[in-house]
Structure 1
Amino acid sequence: MIFSRKRAGDGRQASGERAAEAVVGHGTDELAGPARGPYDVSEAPAGVQRLDLGSLQIPAVPDVEVRVQADPQGVIQQVVLVHGQSALQLGVFAAPRSEGIWDEVREEIRQSLFNDGAAAQERQGEYGPELHARVRTPDGVTDLRFVGIDGPRWMVRGVYQGEAAADPTAVGPLAQVLDGLVVDRGQEAKPVREPLPLRLPREVAEQAGPADEDAPAAPGPIQA
């Protein structure tokens, strides 16, 4: 199933910090949310058109396709964003209240790649440490770039493939989507690293037929 949406609202901001900033205006102090996302649902900017997949809300960005693979009940197994020759697979996971898990997950991804015969290099990206690797697939050698963002009791993991993996400057509008993501963690207790539930919107699930459930999506061999 493929969704194409037009973006509403502002584009991505250049700031590399996600911490909240104090904004002074007209003689009063106002506490602003993070300069960019992924946002917790409690901090998400209003007035932005988003595709609501439950735990993830994906902003509409021109020329970016949202491809989802779902079972007959509408439960989503995979979410992939595609623009040109680049793809970004998204996952969102439960995390503890006290600390983030990306450092730990990143090391496990590195070890998993090593066990499969692929070396991963750690580099600094816009969101902090990320992993770059080149792996063999049935379709040939593929570049992968793993990005992780820790939030309040959640972690978003992105896996870039194609041009955006080999050259981070080629990320294009996929960066706008990542910067505009909204995570709705929910309040119920969940085991750390458990994938947060993703579902098709009701109206979409009702319209989807069997042929739509296996839409093409980029592979994602690594789990958090």
Structure 2
Amino acid sequence: MIFSRNRGGSGRHAKSDPRARETFDRDLDEEFDDDLDAVEEDDEPRAGKSARPEGPYDISEAPAGIAQLDLGALKVPAVDGVEVRVQADNDGRIQQIVLVFADSALQLGVFAAPRSEGIWGEVRGEIRKQLFNDGVAAEEVSGDYGAELRARVRTPEGLTDIRFVGVDGPRWLVRAVFQGPAAIDPQAAQPLLECLHNLVVDRGHEAMPVREPLPLHLPKEVAEAGAQSGEAEDGPNGVDGTSPERRKPSPRPRRK
């Protein structure tokens, strides 16, 4: 794992993606998900409950035996060749998670959702509208998780394909943004898809506003080491420990 600290201390995980930031900004007028008895078993259907054999999994349904990096609300599986890049503030709170494989990247976000229904349909429409406002035409297509968005944007490195995938779970939404070849080439996407298929969400039981990012944090030992050095590099998850300054940054969409 490679992580860097935001010395400004005020950034959110979506800071590097203006469209994502605008789409997921906190709206305190949204309804609160105040169902605090989620630990009780019942026979009622839950939003996001699925017969899919793969994840993202709710922590209550996750299979055992998956090697994971515990980042709080998200447990990221270890996949050979996939590098985990994490940006955190000085208190160890994670602002952004990006998985990198070759020339492709997968940005992960997880948000609170109501117990009664999923929100990906609504969020997807807002993302498409924001892309349109930025001069980018997005195509809605059917993927492994249902409806998703695909577009081509201009970045500092040139034109880049992006793919927005949403997965509604019980009281949470995972938003996954594929960038680069993995957005259009199933072969290039396979290692990153394996990460998504084995991702685990720990929603917790606290009441949170709908679309509020679920809390993410560095593992305790990593946060303590980073507090002493300012920046730290570790090596789980198939990471080679290369300094972020020597690696090509993951593409960030910008307006055409």
Give the match's secondary structure for 2:190. Answer: coil
- Structure 1 residues 19 and 111: alpha-carbon distance in aligned structure 2, compared to 1, 3 A threshold: same
Contact 1:51 1:60 in 2 (8 A): yes
Give the match's secondary structure for 1:204. Answer: helix
Give the TM-score normalised by the residue count of structure 2.
Answer: 0.71
Among candidates 168, 174, 190, match of residue 156 of structure 1 = 174
**Greater percentage in strand:** 1
Q: Which amino acid aligns with 1:187?
A: H
Contact 1:89 1:218 in 2 (8 A): no
Structural RMSD (CA): 2.2
| CA drift at 1:49 | 1.1
**Does the alignment pair 1:19 with 2:50?**
yes
- Structure 1 residues 139 and 117: alpha-carbon distance in aligned structure 2, compared to 1, 3 A threshold: same
**Does the alignment pair 1:218 with 2:218?**
no
- Structure 1 residues 195 and 215: alpha-carbon distance in aligned structure 2, compared to 1, 3 A threshold: farther
Q: Which amino acid aligns with 2:230?
A: P
- Structure 1 residues 168 and 62: alpha-carbon distance in aligned structure 2, compared to 1, 3 A threshold: same
Q: Output one character per residue of 1:56-109: Cα deviation in whole Å (capped at 9) or x when no partner.
A: 001111111111011111010000111111110000000000000000000000
Give the match's secondary structure for 2:148. Answer: strand
| CA drift at 1:170 | 2.4
Q: Which amino acid aligns with 1:110?
A: R
Contact 1:123 1:132 in 2 (8 A): yes
Contact 2:112 2:209 in 1 (8 A): yes
- Structure 1 Cα separation of the partners of residues 231 and 68 of structure 2: 25
Give the match's secondary structure for 1:93. Answer: strand
Question: Number of paired residues?
Answer: 196
- Structure 2 Cα separation of the partners of residues 104 and 132 of structure 1: 16
Runs of 5+ consecutive residues of structure 2 not aligned to the other structure: 4-48, 234-242
| CA drift at 1:19 | 2.4
Give the TM-score normalised by the residue count of structure 1.
Answer: 0.81
Select between 73-82 and 201-210 the one with higher mean Cα deviation.
201-210
Residue identity over aligned pairs, in percent, reads 66
Q: Which amino acid aligns with 2:250?
A: A
Select between 107-116 and 202-211 the one with higher mean Cα deviation.
202-211
Greater relative contact order (Cα < 8 A, sep 6+):
2
Contact 1:81 1:88 in 2 (8 A): yes
- Structure 2 Cα separation of the partners of residues 112 and 139 of structure 1: 22
